[in-house]
């Protein structure tokens, strides 16, 4: 059901319309939608990865938490422990 809905929306141009609306907002330097992280908006406006201000807090949910824990690991053992924990969770 979900797949068919996505195919139908694609065929009807729904995603194209939303994309055009977002592009128009960005091109006119309007305020970006709240669901875009500032770093994503920077990239979309400039297409310059090196000068985008990416921050770990821009990554939502569990993935952001996992990345923060990896960054905050004080030792290689801590890093390995965090990594193993999430790899095991994915594999189970």
pLDDT, mean of each 10-residue run, the chain (92 residues): 66 77 80 75 78 75 83 89 81 62
Confidence at residue 89, expressed as pLDDT on a 0 to 100 scale: 72
Shared domain check, 67 and 51:
no
What pLDDT, on a 0 to 100 scale, did the predictor assign at position 43? 78
CA distance linking residue 23 with residue 17, whole number of Å: 10
| Model pLDDT, residue 2 | 53
Give the per-residue pLDDT at 26: 76
Same domain flag for 28 and 50: yes
Tell me, yes or no, whether 65 and 49 share the same domain.
no
Are 50 and 65 part of one and the same domain?
A: no
Instruction: State the Cα–Cα distance between residues 86 and 64, nearest whole angstrom.
Output: 12
8 A C-beta contact, residue 41 and residue 32: yes
Supply the pLDDT for residue 1.
47
31 and 17 co-located in one domain: yes
Task: Note whether 35 and 12 are same-domain residues.
Answer: yes
Give dist(CA 20, CA 72) in Å, integer. 39
| Together in a domain, 17 and 38 | yes
Same domain, 43 and 81: no
Domain that holds residue 9: 2-55
- Domain shared by 47 and 65, yes or no: no
Rounded to two decimals, the pTM is 0.43
Same domain, 47 and 70: no
For the chain, the domain total comes to 2
């Amino acid at each position: 059901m979900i797949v068919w809905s996505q195919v139908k929306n694609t065929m009807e141009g729904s995603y194209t319309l939303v994309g055009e609306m977002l592009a128009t907002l960005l091109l006119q330097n309007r305020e970006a939608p709240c669901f875009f992280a500032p770093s994503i908006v920077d990239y979309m406006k400039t297409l310059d990865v090196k000068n985008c201000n990416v921050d770990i807090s821009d990554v939502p949910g569990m993935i952001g938490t996992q990345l923060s824990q990896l960054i905050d690991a004080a030792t290689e053992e801590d890093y390995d422990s965090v990594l193993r924990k999430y790899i095991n969770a994915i594999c189970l």
